Amino acid sequence: MIQTCLFPAAGYGTRFLPATKSLPKEMLPILTKPLIHYGVDEALEAGINNMAFVTGRGKRALEDYFDKSYELEEQIAGSSKEYLLTEIRELIKNCTFSFTRQESMKGLGDAIYTGRTLVRDEPFGVILADDLCINEEGEGVLSQMVKIYEKYRCSIIAVMEVDKQQVSNYGIVSGKFIEDDLIIIDNMIEKPNVNEAPSNLAIIGRYILTPDIFEIIKNTKPGKNGEIQITDAIMTQAKNGIAIAYKFKGKRFDCGSVDGYAQATQYFYEKLKNDCK
């Protein structure tokens, strides 16, 4: 039912300079796969086949990654290394990829608005690839959210509890619990100070949005840091109707930070070693 996943991928990744001087941050690898590949895997697992990217200048490597590399294919065909391409070949076969560019960095809300031509008038998923999510116990986070969307038919955002001192790094949500892990949102603030945070439930980079969000973003004034915030637009949906926050099952690594990136690398390396045993 959800057919498209939008990947806002226009940010500079300044925390990873100098690596991100000429490499999109979404192409930083966790072991042998770039971050964006993990995001696309998660969308595909949720039954989504159309992958739509909002990129910017200097991000061409993303397009090349999701395309055939004839020279490489020819070099590697029949060799002992060919199996290393199996996963990406499968991905390319099973998805369509479309790209558009954000003109200037005006915030996540603006990036999502830029993607409207790729999404059309349908509900869609959003994955911020630098939030790497896994669920050892079962289905991935976006897949869990699709199920909730099917029941409630409104925008769904993934949240997790964070330490009080961390709230100013996230969009923070509060509301009424309707199930153990589902909250009808009544307040959302983008990166609040500790003393104005309505809770410690932090938004992570997974959303399902209904298409009315585009009209709302168009009418949303710049918020925190002078940027158009998706948090503010979803708050309008919550005010005018309903939006739901979901405490997802699984783990999330903040690969937009060096700490989180190192933890994710360690986690996947341990997993690889165990799988080889």
Q: Which residues bind ligand G1P (CB under 6 A)?
A: 108, 128, 131, 170-171, 190, 202-205, 231, 256
Q: How far is the CB of 275 from ligand G1P (least distance, A)?
A: 28
Question: Residue 53 Cβ, how far from ligand G1P at the closest point, in Å?
Answer: 16
| Burial status of residue 26 (CB atoms within 10 A of its CB: 0-12, 13-18, 19 or more) | buried
The residue (of 25 and 37) whose beta carbon lies closer to ligand G1P is 25
Amino acid at 266: Q
Q: Output the smallest distance, CB 222 to ligand G1P, in A.
A: 13
Angle between helices 141-152 and 35-45 (to 10 degrees): 40
Q: Which is nearer to ligand G1P, 12 or 85 (CB)?
A: 12
Tell the smallest beta-carbon distance from residue 29 to ligand G1P (Å): 20
Nearer Cβ to ligand G1P (79/193): 193
Q: Which is nearer to ligand G1P, 3 or 187 (CB)?
A: 187
Q: Concatenated DSSP letters for 156-186?
A: EEEEEE--GGGGGGSEEEEEEEEETTEEEEE
Residue with smaller CB distance to ligand G1P, 79 or 214: 214
* 184 vs 186: CA distance, rounded Å: 7
Give me the least distance between CB of 67 and ligand G1P, in Å please.
27
- Per the structure block, which two tokens stand in for 92? 């390319």
Residue 116 vs 131, nearer CB to ligand G1P: 131
Q: Which is nearer to ligand G1P, 127 or 154 (CB)?
A: 127
Contact 2, 208 (CB under 8 A): yes
Q: Which residue is nearest to ligand G1P (CB)?
A: 171
Q: How far is the CB of 88 from ligand G1P (least distance, A)?
A: 25
User: CB 74 → ligand G1P: shortest distance, Å?
Assistant: 39
Position of tokens 């104005």? 196
CA distance 81 to 93: 20
**Are 152 and 242 contacting, i.e. CB atoms less than 8 angstroms apart?**
yes
| Chain centroid to CA 204 | 8
Euclidean distance between CA atoms 265 and 186, whole angstroms: 36
Minimum distance from residue 154 beta carbon to ligand G1P (Å): 18
Cis peptide upstream of residue 18 (ω within 30 degrees of 0): yes
CB 207 within 8 A of CB 246: no
Q: 64 or 196: whose CB is closer to ligand G1P? A: 196
**Closest Cα to residue 95, out of 154, 25, 43?**
43
